[in-house]
Chain A
Amino acid sequence: MRVLYSRYWPLLAKLAPLAAFVLYVSAVLFVGRRLTLPNLYSRYALAWVVVQSSALFLITVGLLANKWIGVRLAHRRQLRADQIAEQMVGFALRNQPDNGLLRYAQRYPREFLKVWEGSLTSLRGSARERVLALLPRTRLDQQLQAKVVGTDPGQAVWAISLLRELNQVGSLQTIEEALQHPAETVRASACFALAAHGSDRQQEKVFALLPALPFWQRIVLFQQIQDSPALEKYLALTFRSPDRTVVLAALEFVLSRQRIQPVGSAGELAVSPDLEVRIKFFKTLPLLATKEDPASLAASGLADVDWRVRAMAARASGSLHLSSLTATLAARLSLSEQAAETGHIARALASLGGESLQRLRAFTNSDNNMTRAVTAEVLERALLSPGGTR
């Protein structure tokens, strides 16, 4: 298993098929030399047929036997799991003691854990708590902890997904060790678990790793992070960080949570020299509780040199209902040459309603075909929306 993590793996992965092929050719040559046909072509053709037929026979028998055994084992496991599930329901509803379940856990740990995991997703309240507390009594949590730091990445990920439900100090410490696991999938799972259930110290450790994590891991991680003092501390620092990756990660975090986030002063981000930071900042602005007046921040965005920043600032103006920016938005709409920017400005004006909507209607007579068409589309959408136009 360790070879899967080794730096030689990519080379081995490329060589393994070639090695298997060489073995195959060697087998044909070996059989060919033992045949006595006078014609060379016929001799090796026959050898080829013999080797292929043997390989085919072995593969077919292996395949079918494996499936047959697998299906039967799965059926038996399912029967056991059904029995365990029956007892688990009784236990969760306080109708039955845990003796039977503990016996099952010792004899059939795999099936027990499967049922236990399923119960946690379907149960709520005290019943769930009872089922949760059952695992340490079976001592299977210790086996799972061993799997977390074991070499099999699939087992480690599975063990982490079960242990994180327990929310125990010992389990979380083992999960913390998995942050050093050679497999990326395991490290990612450990991060997710600690972000959701870890102590302040463990969460801080994950936050420190956050900007360097791949984008997809950040997406998952952001959804796992719970409100905590560690989070507040982290966010307060990140928005003033000189490192763009840290700032971008923090903005993504706020964006993915879709909740208002107090961030103190964030005005510097509106005029950041980094284009991506400005775009993301204005995209996130409706969710940021800043010390600065959002209208003045949005106005600076609407005056940006890049149309993507202006588009996001317009979007924010609409979301935040910044009616004071109506004139600025209308002025920008008459200047916009990008359909996407025009669309955002027009939607912002439509969502502001009242005078803004009147101003938007005037653009249906614009000389610019694109502006006219986009305005018509936005007005049509506004009319068809549940509230219609205000």
Chain B
Amino acid sequence: MRTILLTAANWYESWVIFYLFAISAIYMVLSLTGLVDLLRRRFFQYDPLVERTAEMSSLMPPVSILAPAYNESASICQSVRAMLALKYPEFEVIVINDGSKDDTLALLIREFHLYKSARYFDHTLASHPIRAVYESIDPIPLVVIDKENGGKSDALNSGLNVARYPLVCGVDADSVLEESALLRAVRPFLYDPDRVLAVGGIVRVANGCRVSAGRVTEVDLPKSWIARFQVVEYLRAFLGGRVAFSAYNCLVVISGAFGLFSKSALLAVGGYRTDTVGEDMELVMRLHHWARSQGREYRIVFEPNPVCWTQVPESLATLRRQRNRWQRGTIETLWAHRKMFLNPKYGALGMAAFPYFVLFEMLGPLIEFTGYVLTLVGVGFGFFGYQTALLFLLASISFGVLLSVGSVVLEELTLRRYPRVHDLLLLVISGVLESLGFRQLLTVWRSGAFLDVLRGRTGWGVMERKGFG
């Protein structure tokens, strides 16, 4: 019995070691690909005239901004004001009040002088009933849809029905877009109008930043370590992973907090799916699927310059709910599109990105979690020496730290949003500390999402809203 257990433990340990090396290798190649791409962007910066002129041109494609809101009274007015102040020649802001139980709608009506409008719209996409559409009596391009609660995807589908412009931009109502975010995000649509279907911008952590009149006026790091860890996490995910996936046209996710889409493509794929909590990832997968089935050349792009600032959870309970939801979304989406797995018909997406997401994003937490447990069990029962286990733990941790610090380097080489040496030092320390407990905690929570999926758990869970005040 002991021999069988020893063999099984050794076999599994070898697999975990292989997994660790493989994930390290892939992350490293992704980060380095991101670095090369970002450096190239740095060398080939466009004339500032481009942005100044585009802001005034009537040839720029108009954009409908869709902002679903559910119990967002803490920040909704500030967010809408920020959206209305965006630099862009022609756009409309469509706030979808998804049956909020607080006074989100009342605040909007009072603040922006809304009236019940006779605005016409098609019911192209199915959604929960719309109670009323409001527009402002003031000359501002604001539309508010008041509808029965149906979830974020349902709200976005309502917004898509009401939207009138050829490009639609999905944003979270509790996020703040930078003034020129739309101008920058729309660039790929201008450079390659026939092929680009969607563009994702970078999402950054707003906790700790000074926000006034709906604008981030001073960038600073959060006071809480949990939020600081997330700053490093976001940098790693966006500047390392997404830049690299975008370079190979196999971007799998565009953050729901900020993404710009061709409306016709969204309608062609049937809008957002309402039976998943990972609607942003699922939509991008479906766009890939649709474009390839149509045999059309297409691009789904990540742009690191357009910035959306968002509040990240500072309490462990909220963070746990968020990560559980993200993981459930990943599992649901990858399962729904399992046909793509190692399918050469989908090119780099099917052969590389999809397997990567299955192996490292979906199964990763489970493998890592069982690896920790088995290591402890193996050491406890004397199947292998604690020195070996400790060395591998050290190797895994140091690699995590290296990647985190690497993402800070990417940030510093390219966008440089953090102005002080002190900020960078804090980010490096956060990168180190994040690997000593925080990452492992997330691994445990994410592993729990498997159980929730098996139990058939749906829904978002309660998210706290602090606002930017």
Chain A residues with CB under 8 Å of chain B are 1, 4, 13-14, 16-18, 20-21, 24-25, 39, 41-42, 45-46, 48-49, 52-53, 55-56, 59-60, 63-64, 66-68, 71, 152-154, 157, 160-161, 183-185, 188-189, 192, 214-216, 218-220, 222-224, 252, 255-256, 258, 339, 343, 370, 373-374, 376-377, 380, 384
Kindly provide the distance from the CB of B279 to the nearest chain A CB, expressed in whole angstroms.
27
Chain B 249-265 against A: per-residue CB contact (8 Å), 1 yes, 0 no?
Answer: 00000000000000000
Knowing A16-B32, A42-B388, A185-B44 touch, does A255 contact B395 (C-beta < 8 A)?
Answer: no
Q: Closest B-chain residue to A372, C-beta based?
A: B120
Q: A188-B46, A218-B59 are in contact. List 16 more A-B contacts (CB 8 A).
A: A1-B43, A17-B30, A20-B28, A41-B388, A41-B392, A45-B392, A63-B409, A64-B424, A68-B421, A153-B45, A161-B48, A220-B47, A224-B49, A255-B58, A339-B120, A373-B120
B140 within 8 Å of A (CB atoms): no
Interface residue SS majority, chain A: helix
The 5 closest A-B pairs by CB, nearest first: A17-B32, A216-B190, A45-B391, A52-B398, A373-B120
Chain B 27-60 against A: per-residue CB contact (8 Å), 1 yes, 0 no?
Answer: 0111111011100101111111110011011111
Interface residue SS majority, chain B: helix
Chain B residue contacts of A220, Cβ below 8 A: 47, 49-50, 53-54, 57
Kindly provide the distance from the CB of A260 to the nearest chain B CB, expressed in whole angstroms.
15
Chain B residue contacts of A24, Cβ below 8 A: 28
A64 to B48, CA, bound (A): 29
Chain A residue contacts of B131, Cβ below 8 A: none
Chain B residue contacts of A52, Cβ below 8 A: 395, 398-399, 401-402
Knowing A39-B388, A45-B391 touch, does A377 contact B28 (C-beta < 8 A)?
Answer: no
B137 within 8 Å of A (CB atoms): yes
User: By the criterion CB–CB under 8 Å, are B47 and A56 in contact?
Assistant: no
A374 to B117, CA, bound (A): 11
User: By the criterion CB–CB under 8 Å, are A252 and B28 in contact?
Assistant: no
User: By the criterion CB–CB under 8 Å, are A49 and B46 in contact?
Assistant: no
Chain A residue contacts of B58, Cβ below 8 A: 255-256, 258
- The 8 Å CB contact of A377, one of B49, B117, B395, is B117
Chain B residue contacts of A256, Cβ below 8 A: 57-59
Chain B residue contacts of A39, Cβ below 8 A: 385, 388
User: By the criterion CB–CB under 8 Å, are B405 and A219 in contact?
Assistant: no
- The 8 Å CB contact of B412, one of A46, A67, A154, A161, is A67
Knowing A42-B388, A59-B409 touch, does A188 contact B47 (C-beta < 8 A)?
Answer: yes
- The 8 Å CB contact of A343, one of B118, B120, B392, is B120
18 contacts between A and B (CB under 8 A): A13-B247, A17-B36, A18-B29, A20-B32, A24-B28, A25-B25, A45-B395, A52-B399, A55-B402, A64-B424, A153-B44, A154-B43, A157-B47, A185-B46, A188-B47, A222-B59, A224-B49, A256-B58
- The 8 Å CB contact of B119, one of A183, A252, A377, is A377
User: By the criterion CB–CB under 8 Å, are A49 and B398 in contact?
Assistant: yes
A52 to B320, CA, bound (A): 30
Kindly provide the distance from the CB of A159 to the nearest chain B CB, expressed in whole angstroms.
11
Chain A residue contacts of B117, Cβ below 8 A: 377, 380
User: By the criterion CB–CB under 8 Å, are A48 and B395 in contact?
Assistant: yes
Residue in A49, A59, A184 with the greatest tally of chain B CB atoms within 10 Å: A49
Q: Closest A-chain residue to B42, C-beta based?
A: A154
Residue in B37, B387, B421 with the greatest tally of chain A CB atoms within 10 Å: B421
B323 within 8 Å of A (CB atoms): no
Knowing A55-B402, A185-B45, A339-B122 touch, does A219 contact B412 (C-beta < 8 A)?
Answer: no
A234 to B7, CA, bound (A): 82
**Docked complex: B67-108 residues within 8 A CB-CB of A:** none
Kindly provide the distance from the CB of A248 to the nearest chain B CB, expressed in whole angstroms.
11
Q: Closest A-chain residue to B429, C-beta based?
A: A60
Chain B residue contacts of A53, Cβ below 8 A: 398
Residue in B36, B49, B53 with the greatest tally of chain A CB atoms within 10 Å: B49
Chain A residue contacts of B40, Cβ below 8 A: 4, 13
Kindly provide the distance from the CB of A113 to the nearest chain B CB, expressed in whole angstroms.
14
